[in-house]
Amino acid sequence: MTAGFLIADLSVGIERSMMTRQFRGPYTTKYCGILPLNFEWVFFLGHMMLVSGYFAAHVLALTVGGLVLPGYAIPAYMVGEWGLFLFWGWKYGRARWAFGTSNRLGFLDVLRPEWAVMSFVPIMMFGNIGFLGGRTFAGWIAYKLMLTTFVVQVCTSGGGLVESIKLSSGSIMTLQLVAAVCAVVGFLVMVMFASDSHRHLLFKTAMTPKELFQKYFTTHDYPLDHTFNTRDEARMNYFAAHHPYFLTESKAKVQEWLLGLRSSDGLFSSGEVVPPGVDAFKGQQWSTLFTRVKSRFTYYKDDGANRLITTHLDKLLGEIESWPAITTPFPYPQPPSPKELPEIEKLRLNALQDAAKIVQDAATIAQLRRRINELEDTSILAAT
């Protein structure tokens, strides 16, 4: 339960963070917005039940399988499952890790985090369109729970005790079923209490990763979402932040857009600094982001286009850096100290200070006179 709480808190926290960044509202994007406005604690409880039951079922199946099955069985199965996952990614347009920083085949392109993490805990983030998608996320959970239950059933079918666990076969199977039922109930609670507009993301894939990352290049009327103020901000964010593999079909459109950028565009209104709308690179220098863009485009192995884009972006960067620096306005100036004033101003300041002192002294004297008069009147009345 502790592991379930910690992992569920991490998972929900990631989703909440993504929803918070949508400045047009937490439900304005198609790829995140599962958390409900009301009864979020029930949704969290369901997610904790899912994670706890799923994790417990896997630990129990691995423990029992390790004691009963041959030593090579579990490693061989996991290698086979890993190979099938890579084949699935290749077939359905997910052959590369979305946030890969290298154009070459990288470590995370091979040992995919989605497969490694979902083998033990179902973190909600991996149901995102850019990773597994809702349909595969829900299907993976069902497949893993059935698989672990089958393994425990096979390993305990002989009856008797599993000596290292000190439990009967029936007790072990009961624990497995409790864990599986807990996970299923938790997932159903999540579906029931998820936001109405994004509930389908838990079990349905609305679009492929390529469609998600290419949408601002292929569709001119797609509404702006996330932190984007302009289409140029959206295009720059999607192309520079994600692996160019996912924009392969839009390579010509990406090239046309890059060569069409001008220093007068609103994208460069912040000068040398990347605007907040380009969320993945906000606050960085354009020189850094242009270097990344040029590196990304080399993935397509078009030397002619690479030269054109490099020349154009270098020229564009020179124009941007030649602008006067945009600085924050200075605070309202404070009055100068007497040491900084010329002689006549010093005399005027001293005169004003003396006049203020005289007025203050006059007020004090008048107050003392009133007090004396009151005392004198009191004394006369007492004598009478």
Domain chopping of the chain, boundaries: 2-202, 209-321
Q: DSSP secondary-structure letter at 208?
A: -
Q: What is the dihedral of CA 56, 57, 60, 62, to 10 degrees?
A: -120
User: Using the 8-state DSSP alphabet, how is residue 101 labeled?
Assistant: S
Asked if residue 63 has pLDDT above 60, the reply is: yes
Phi, psi of 349 (to 5 degrees): -65, -40
Average pLDDT, the chain: 85
**pLDDT for 329-370, tens place per residue?**
444 344 445 454 455 555 566 666 666 666 566 666 666 666
Give the pLDDT band (50/70/90) at residue 188: very high
> For residues 29 and 296, what is the distance between their CA atoms, to the nearest angstrom?
25
Helix, strand, coil share (%) of the chain residues, nearest 5: 65, 0, 30
Residue 380's pLDDT is 58
CA distance 298 to 120: 37
Cα gap 148→136, rounded to integer Å: 18
- Predicted pLDDT at 172: 86
| 281-300 average pLDDT score | 94
Instruction: Return the axis-axis angle of helices 231-241 and 209-218, rounded to nearest 10°.
Output: 140
* Verdict on whether the full-model pTM lies above 0.85: no
Residue the block writes with tokens 């129990």? 60
Distance, in Å, from the CA atom of 229 to the CA atom of 239, rounded to the nearest integer, reads 16
